[in-house]
Amino acid sequence: MTDNLLTDNPALYEARFPDPGRLAGRWAEDCLRRHGAGKRVLDMGCGTGRDAAWLHDAGREVTGADLSGAMLAHARAHHPGPEYVRADLHGFDLGHGRFDAVVCLDSALLYCHTNDQLDGFLSSCRRALAPGGLLVAEMRNGAYFLGRTDLLDTPRADEFAWRGTVHRSVTTLTVDRTDQLLRRRRVWTADDGSAPVEQRSAWRLLFPQELRHLLAAHGYEVLELHDGPGPRTEPPWQEGLLPGRTTDADRLHVVARLTCTTTH
Ligand SMILES: C[S@@+](CC[C@H](N)C(=O)[O-])C[C@H]1O[C@@H](n2cnc3c(N)ncnc32)[C@H](O)[C@@H]1O
């Protein structure tokens, strides 16, 4: 039994969520360029390291940080270039004013479940950023679930082949209104005779106006807040497309600039 089959098996994670065109890295780089960010980038919740390495190859000085030792080991072995360090999104200190930008991709930010954890993340980013530094994040949009149930409560079956074994998952998403969390229960089976694995995880249901308020309270100016196009929207973002203005669809993208380093 593992805590999280995908984050404990980074190669499986990449197979399950392929990004062959490195759209997430390209989109983040596009945001950084559009707002004139300096070279030093921290990728918080960097996972397998593929986006960190892409930003490194684009000429940036990148540090990738994650809590999962398995992810960090995979990143060092398979996506070299950046420095990889262990750090917790909920509160970290990697040096004052050391970065020109923090990127946080594919809902990593939503592993801050409580308000205290969100405050911890935003104040840690504020410490890590040089004045005028950018925060670029991409995640699920909590507002999508207001009045929509299409993704909820009904188990969804999926399967894919990895290294000669067919892996099947049955996933159920539910809304926990009290804790404002989207909870996921996923049961994995494989045709190699291994026992089923149940995995539970959750994301904060963060609403656009709530995010705007939190950012302002922590000394950030919101430059962009929209539901696409982005690397995981349909249709996906591509080079040359500009950010939209609505926050209605299922992904949320934010670019914010640190304007005040002394709030809180
Ligand atoms: C959905 S993955 C996204 C990975 C990567 N950003 C990407 O886009 O492929 C979320 C990542 O957040 C990491 N994570 C979860 N909780 C964390 C925490 N408290 N501190 C740091 N990383 C965390 C997980 O280990 C995982 O690598």
Note the pLDDT tens digit of each residue in 16-34: 888 889 999 999 999 999 9
User: What residue owns the CA closest to ligand 1's atom 10?
Assistant: 108
Question: pTM (2 decimals)?
Answer: 0.95
Look over the chain and give the mean of its residue pLDDT values, rounded to a whole number: 94
| Closest C-alpha among 115, 90, 119, 105 to residue 205 | 115
Instruction: Parse the chain into domains and list their residue ranges.
Output: 5-141+206-258, 145-203
Give the atom of ligand 1 at the shortest distance from the alpha carbon of 138: 8
Instruction: Output the CA 45–ligand 1 centroid distance in Å.
Output: 4
**For residue 219, which phi and psi values (nearest 5 degrees)?**
90, 20
Query: Going edge to edge, which strands form the sheet with 156-162?
Result: 156-162, 165-176, 181-190, 197-204
Q: Give the percent of the chain with pLDDT over 70.
A: 95
Give the atom of ligand 1 at the shortest distance from the alpha carbon of 88: 20
Which of 54, 63, 94, 106 has most ligand 1 atoms within 8 Å of CB, for mutation? Answer: 106
User: Taking 50 as the threshold, does the pLDDT of residue 85 lie above it?
Assistant: yes
pLDDT tier, 1 (very low <50, low <70, confident <90, very high otherwise): very low
User: Taking 60 as the threshold, does the pLDDT of residue 125 lie above it?
Assistant: yes
Handedness of CA 90, 35, 254, 84 (dihedral sign): negative
CATH number of 145-203: 3.30.1300.30
H or E segment at 224? strand 220-226
CATH class of 5-141+206-258: alpha beta
The pLDDT tens digits for 158-201 are 998 888 888 899 999 999 999 999 999 999 898 888 889 899 99
What integer pLDDT is reported at residue 194 of this predicted model?
A: 85
CB of residue 67 inside a 6 A radius of ligand 1: yes
Kindly state the average pLDDT of the residues 103-116.
98
Judged by DSSP in three states, 178 sits in: coil
The β-bridge partners of 102 are 42, 135
